[in-house]
Chains A and B, each alone.
Chain A
Amino acid sequence: MTRIILGIAVAACAALGAPPLLAGPEATADQAPASIAKPWTLPRTADGKPDLQGSWTNATLTPLERAENTPLSLPKDEVERREQAFRERVSRLAEDSDPDRPAPPKGGDGSTGAAGNVGGYNNFWIDPGDRIAVVNGEYRSSLLTVPASGRVPATTPEARQRAAQRLAARKGMGQYDHPELRPLAERCLMSFGSNAGPPMLPNYFYNNNYQFVQTPDALMILVEMVHDVRVVRIGENLHHSPAHIRSWMGDSIGRWEGDTLVVETTNFHPLQNFRGASEHLKVIERFTRTGPETILYKFEIDDPTTFVEKWGGEVPFNRTEDLIYEYACHEGNYALANVLSGERNREKREADKKKSQQN
């Protein structure tokens, strides 16, 4: 039994007032007998609030969006099929290669995606999560739960016009012409994807780890990628910063609704435009401890100037005993310089070729 299922089982037993199946997530069949098991109780900080602290991971096999005509809840056999397929893929990619293999094909190796057709690196560097997400005892086919389709809603005409204006504004400039034209992740400023968010979503790649530290008036969220820190102010009657003050992860204020921490974030930096969102983006997050090993993290995206309707989802954050390491991105970021000097070198090669043709 995996930790996550065990956690849910224990939590369910606690909710029903029934004795749990096992003593706790660390217990195994040959350890504590069920008769001395204690039900899980919500851990609390000194001021009586639910304790959200610890190291958590949101790595999962469940994608953000759902395939069309797929139900939100997956049957067990489908979960096993998907998890087994993942394990087989890992094994396949770990197989030996031909030591006499030649260089890859000229013109690219045919791979697709953001890495381009030059491939990436071996699978052993990757750690995307190997389990289907479980929420309320249900295996999930997508992290998105709203709208019911499990798909990100269409953008508004206003958002499309805004995007077109942005593209028009950069006319005449190449994407390699200035370091600030490169993506935030490449510049080591923010995590790639929406790891730091908010919303905090898995990147399906690696380092999907977080550390939470909590005081009565703040929750600190350290995001491993790329060592981003967000401080959520907690309290009643808090107000957001003035509209002109904008930070990478926005301005987050939280309040307790029962045992759930509700966090509202606005004032995002213009370059941190989540899926094309505007300056009016508002993200609502809800953090609820649902078991010894789990926080249920819910998020809602509210930006009527960008999306035709509100949307959101549910992501389990599972406790991890693994160490989280500093991600000192600037320390070895050869890539940004390589990208820019690559273009300058290409321009020089072209100029030299032209020159030799003229002579």
Chain B
Amino acid sequence: MTRTNLLMLFAGALITAATVPVGGHHAFGAEFDPDAPIRLQGKVVKLEWVNPHAWIHIEVDKPDGAKEVWMVEGGTPNTLLRRGLTRDTLKHGTELVVDGYQTKDHSLKRANGRDVTFTDGRKMFMGSSGTGAPRDGRDPTEKPVKPPGV
């Protein structure tokens, strides 16, 4: 296959992608299995504060008493950093409740975090900057919040 044909082939794949509305940086529908819903409850053991998406690692108890670590996918940390939240905001050992869907690769203990809350139901982070709306720099009463160390 020539290089031109290959490019056309890949461009064709993108046509399909370009016609759907934006719903996420990565196609969660391609990554997670709708037939593998899960509910996880466990303590935070690691937080990967990375792009494109943050990953929260939690240790959960299996029915047989053994423990296993699940990775839960969130969004970009940049947005939370601008609100003054850092990876240190979520302490290791914090207990979370997560519901989502496991990756299509069932050999991985990974899932999307549709809803990540504390054990009393509160959301893990609150998306508020006073009005409840995300910051966009246009409100003169909003001052930039710089995270520690910056």
CB-CB nearest in chain B for A55:
B137
- In the bound complex, CA of A73 to CA of B111 (Å): 43
Interface residues in chain A, defined as those with a beta carbon under 8 Å from any beta carbon in chain B: 2-4, 6, 25-26, 28, 57, 59, 86-87, 90-91, 93-99, 101-109, 113-131, 163, 165-167, 169-170, 173, 175-176, 180-186, 188, 192-193, 203-207, 224-226, 270-271, 273-276, 293, 318-323, 325-329, 331-336, 338-339, 341-346, 349
Contacts of A270 in B (CB 8 A): 7-8, 11
Would you mind naming 21 contact pairs between A and B with Cβ atoms under 8 Å apart?
Answer: A3-B138, A87-B131, A94-B128, A102-B99, A114-B17, A122-B123, A125-B76, A126-B127, A127-B135, A130-B131, A163-B15, A166-B8, A166-B11, A205-B25, A318-B138, A320-B136, A323-B150, A332-B55, A338-B108, A344-B105, A345-B106
> Which residues of chain B have C-beta atoms less than 8 A from A126's C-beta?
75, 79, 127, 134
In the complex, A120→B115 CA distance in Å?
9
Q: Shortest beta-carbon distance, A137 to chain B, in Å?
A: 16
Residue pair A103, B28 in contact (C-beta under 8 Å): no
B85 closest partner in A (C-beta):
A124
The reply to whether B101 and A170 contact each other, CB–CB distance below 8 Å, is: no
The answer to whether B53 and A118 have CB atoms under 8 Å apart is no
Add 6 more A-B contacts to A99-B117, A128-B134 (CB < 8 A): A104-B37, A116-B27, A117-B29, A121-B75, A125-B127, A342-B33
**Number of residue pairs A-B, CB distance < 8 angstroms:** 326
B14–A87 contact, CB under 8 A?
no
Asked if A338 and B101 make an inter-chain contact with CB atoms under 8 angstroms apart, the answer reads no
Q: Which of B5, B11, B25, B132 contacts A91 (CB 8 A)?
A: B132
Interface size on B, residues (CB 8 A): 92
- A328 and B50 in contact, given A57-B137, A114-B27, A116-B30 (Cβ under 8 angstroms): yes
Contact B105 A184 (CB under 8 A): no
B21 at the interface (CB under 8 A from A): yes
B20 touches A338 (CB 8 A): no
Known contacts: A320-B136, A349-B106. The answer to whether A121 contacts B78 by CB under 8 A is: no
Tell me the B49-75 residues at the A interface (CB within 8 Å).
Answer: 50-55, 71, 73-75
